[in-house]
Amino acid sequence: MFLALLALVTIAFGWILAPYGGAIFWGVVLAILFAPVYRWLLQRTRNRAGLASMLTLLLIVVIVILPLTLVSISIVNQAASVVELVRSGEITVGMFFNKIMAALPNWMVSLLDRFHLTSLSYLQDKLTEAASQVSQEVAKRAINAGLYTFDFLTSLCILLYLLFFLLRDGDKLAKRIREAVPLSRKYKQRLFQNFTTVIRATVKGNILVAIAQGALGCLAFWFLDVRAPVLWGVLMAFLSLLPAVGAAIVWAPVAVYFLATGAVWQGISLALFGVFVIGLVDNFLRPILVGQDTKMPDYVVLLSTVGGMALFGLNGFVIGPVVAALFIAAWDLFTTASEFHAD
């Protein structure tokens, strides 16, 4: 009966916290990520835990939350400018479509014609249908803009409030959790060590790779005079969370468009820059920052990241690799224990 009660109240407590699960999750992630900074400040403040936690929290606001806010404002402004250009007719689907069709070879035009992709009216109907669905969704969200803003601010306040106590009391809380887990000491130590290592490596590695690829993509688009380079750079940064293929989803179609419309040197330059600079960042940095620390093969990191994001959204790029690392560690422990008992 006690175990049933324990399970019941645990499920009920999780249910209560579920609406703000994202804020709690990122509070835990940031607390683990900035724990070394907190310990360093704790020594410098003569073991005044509250002061060290507050200084760490201010540092997180300055280097994480404030830049994200400024970038978000810039994205909204550039997106609004692109929408205004479309409304004014300066950017039209027909203009881009005719340029591309005129530059394509005859065999490719014939191939596209089989799939009805050479008809401007057909594509415009499809784009109109998609735009109608998008506009309806945007209208719904605009009506609830106040509610979304309130939820965001509430989540942010919960994150910062929780983060202060997780930094200050994190070691005690982790000790209590370790004591409550019904496993032997060596198993618990291995699993908890993998948990913290993977979170730090995944967040640190993926975010550094995303910042590097987004910044390089933004610089390339700015140099080639592509409209709204910050918007596309941020989109590349988000998509770079998908290993191997992420940023190419943005820059590759732009390079193809340049080549198809006769801007040969721009297309070749962007393609070479994307493959040998932006792609090299992903191929070089990600295995060092993520795979090496987590001791997971690249294909496991890729599959767990993509699967995690499919199930949990943006949070999945952390949750997926953590689950994969715990899976590997648990089976390694099980195999080692089985071999020991067999001997």
Is the pLDDT at 134 greater than 90? The verdict is no
For residue 160, tell me if it sits in a domain. yes
In this structure, the answer to whether residues 189 and 302 fall within a common structural domain is yes
Write the DSSP string, 154-180. HHHHHHHHHHHHHHHHHHHHHHHHHHH
pLDDT, position 12: 92
pLDDT, position 249: 79
In this structure, the answer to whether residues 191 and 171 fall within a common structural domain is no
For residue 5, tell me if it sits in a domain. no
Q: Tens digit of pLDDT for each residue in 7-34?
A: 899 899 989 988 888 888 888 888 888 8
In this structure, the answer to whether residues 203 and 120 fall within a common structural domain is no
Domain count, the chain: 2
Poorest-pLDDT segment among 10-14, 291-295, 305-309, 312-316? 291-295
Task: Give the span between the Cα atoms of 9 and 56, in whole angstroms.
Answer: 33
For residue 8, tell me if it sits in a domain. no
In this structure, the answer to whether residues 25 and 155 fall within a common structural domain is yes
Task: Give the span between the Cα atoms of 13 and 8, in whole angstroms.
Answer: 9
For residue 2, tell me if it sits in a domain. no
What residue type is assigned to position 5 of the chain?
A: L
Q: Tens digit of pLDDT for each residue in 45-84?
A: 888 888 999 999 999 988 888 887 777 777 767 666 666 6
Q: Is this prediction's pTM over 0.75?
A: no
Task: Give the span between the Cα atoms of 199 and 28, in whole angstroms.
Answer: 10
In this structure, the answer to whether residues 171 and 229 fall within a common structural domain is no
Is the pLDDT at 253 greater than 60? The verdict is yes
- Chain center to CA of 144: 25
For residue 329, tell me if it sits in a domain. yes
**Among 305, 324, 327, CA closest to 316:** 305
For residue 76, tell me if it sits in a domain. yes
In this structure, the answer to whether residues 158 and 282 fall within a common structural domain is no
Q: Which domain holds residue 87?
A: 16-180
pLDDT, position 55: 93
Query: Which has more pLDDT, 264 or 6?
Result: 6
pLDDT, position 59: 92
Give the domain-ending residue among 148, 180, 212: 180
pLDDT, position 255: 83
For residue 1, tell me if it sits in a domain. no
The percentage of residues in the chain with a pLDDT greater than 90, rounded to a whole number, is 6
- Looking from the CA of 215 toward its CB, the CA atoms found within 13 Å total 7
Task: Give the span between the Cα atoms of 169 and 163, in whole angstroms.
Answer: 10
In this structure, the answer to whether residues 41 and 101 fall within a common structural domain is yes
Contacts of 193 (CB under 8 A, 6+ apart): none
Is the pLDDT at 299 greater than 80? The verdict is no
Give the domain-ending residue among 115, 148, 180: 180
Task: Give the span between the Cα atoms of 226 and 154, in whole angstroms.
Answer: 37
Give the domain-ending residue among 180, 203, 226: 180
Task: Give the span between the Cα atoms of 166 and 79, in whole angstroms.
Answer: 37
Burial environment of residue 327 by CB neighbours within 10 A (0 to 12, 13 to 18, 19 or more): middle
In this structure, the answer to whether residues 110 and 144 fall within a common structural domain is yes
CA torsion 330-331-337-343 (nearest 10°) is -170
In this structure, the answer to whether residues 163 and 194 fall within a common structural domain is no
For residue 10, tell me if it sits in a domain. no
In this structure, the answer to whether residues 314 and 203 fall within a common structural domain is yes
**Among 226, 289, 229, CA closest to 261:** 226
In this structure, the answer to whether residues 88 and 203 fall within a common structural domain is no
pLDDT, position 318: 80
In this structure, the answer to whether residues 199 and 228 fall within a common structural domain is yes
Task: Give the span between the Cα atoms of 38 and 50, in whole angstroms.
Answer: 10
Is the pLDDT at 118 greater than 80? The verdict is no
Contact (CB, 8 A) for 329 and 190: yes
- Write out the two tokens for 166: 């997780």
